[in-house]
Amino acid sequence: MEWIKLIGILVILVGFLLKLDTIAVVLIAGLATALVSGIDFTDFLSMLGKAFVDNRLVTLFLLTLPMVGISERFGLKQQAVVLIEKIKGLTPGKFLSLYLFIRELAGFFSIRIQGHTQFIRPIVNPMAQAAAENKYGELEEADQEKIKARAAANENYGNFFAQNTFVAASGVLLITGTLKSLGYDVAASAIAQASIPIALIVLVIATLSNLAFDRKMSKNMAKRRKSKWKQSSIIF
């Protein structure tokens, strides 16, 4: 009768098919599995609480998603756009380069301001879009997608190449532990120091790439305006 312990899977399948509340279905499935496995209700609650505490960082991350949605609904994106529109001469490339600098500096001090869902989508991308519209006028969908991709790319640059500049970062500790297990006497501070030049090089390269993106967009916009002007001249 060992198969009876798989009853939780059946409960989840039925619950999802009937489109019942997801959290309730998962809890009932866990409780059913515990009871048929000989675990009493008190022990089940203890195991549930321990799992919640052990995975609290994941839980906190999931809690940020509805908070971001509420902030967007009540004007976070609009206020970010208004702020950018007040700054004259700002281009999407310059803004994203500034964000990358702040992103790497925050990583150096282990300040968590990153995240595609929590930061790029609701704040950084709309601000970059606003900078482009303020500089070049109305954007086409292809231009918006390019700016969106570049905003995500700059987040990835900062996250990947600057995450180990903090001496107590998880990546630094992992590298240090792995090297020590292989017989190499390496300090965490040495790993962090070696990561700083890499982060600076990436900052320079990404900034040059962002400025080149500005020049290319400026040329494309100029050609587009010239083409529209010629078409209007032919009509008249």
C-alpha span between 111 and 214 (Å, rounded): 29
- The share of the chain scoring above pLDDT 90, in percent, equals 30
The residue-averaged pLDDT of 122-131 equals 88
- Which of 61-70, 160-169, 213-222 has the weakest average pLDDT? 61-70
Domain boundaries, the chain: 2-54, 60-235
HEC string of 97-153 equals HHHHHHHHHHHHCCCCCCCHHHHHHHHHHHHHHHHHHHHHCCCCHHHHHHHHHHHHH
From 90-94, 151-155, 175-179, 203-207, the region with the lowest mean pLDDT: 175-179
Average pLDDT, the chain: 82
